[in-house]
Amino acid sequence: MGDRELLEMAAKAAGISGGWGDKIEYHNGAVDLRDVWILEGDDLVPWNPLTDDGDALRLAVRLGITVAFWEYPQNSVAAYVSGDGIPASSERHGEDKDAATRRAIVRAAAAIGRAM
Q: Which fold has domain 3-115?
A: Bacillus phage protein (3.30.2120)
| pTM (predicted TM-score) | 0.77
Q: What is the pLDDT of residue 58?
A: 94
Helix axis angle, 53-63 to 3-14, nearest 10°: 50
Cβ atoms < 10 Å from Cβ of 16: 20
- 85 band by pLDDT with thresholds 50, 70 and 90: low
Among candidates 71, 101, 72, which has minimal Cα distance to 87?
101
Alpha carbon separation from 113 to 15, 46, 99 (Å, rounded)? 9, 20, 21
Q: What is the per-residue pLDDT across 51-65, written as a single tens digit (0 to 9) for each?
A: 999 999 999 999 998
Q: Report which DSSP code applies to 70.
A: E
Q: Report which DSSP code applies to 36.
A: E
Domain locations in the chain?
3-115
